[in-house]
Structure 1
């Protein structure tokens, strides 16, 4: 799946705040995501991110 910086993605499990929309704010060996519901920031290893990614909602 092709994804890039500032894309909005959907993960397999929703965030506890109830939203399932995340923005990619940093890419490298790790990927930093920002919840678009509450603003919480999470950092995942790229391999873990690709496993948990469901689909890309919006391209930047």
Structure 2
């Protein structure tokens, strides 16, 4: 999967704050993500992150 720093991921399950969108802060064996709703940061393994991605919003694209 082609994910870069600065992309926004829309995940299948929502965070307890109600947001499904996460900003990508670090890419490697683990991803560091920041919740767009509450600002909570977490690191999850690449395999788990790739399974839970519903949509990738690129850094340069307009968000509607």
* TM norm structure 2: 0.85
Q: Does 1:24 align with 2:24?
A: yes
Any stretches of 5+ residues in structure 1 without a counterpart? none
- Cα distance in 1 between the residues matched to 2:15 and 2:31: 16
Aligned length: 59
Any stretches of 5+ residues in structure 2 without a counterpart? 60-64
- Kindly indicate whether structure 1 or structure 2 has the higher relative contact order, using CA contacts under 8 Å at least 6 residues apart: 1
Q: CA RMSD in A?
A: 0.9
Output one character per residue of 1:25-50: Cα deviation in whole Å (capped at 9) or x when no partner.
01111001000100000111001110
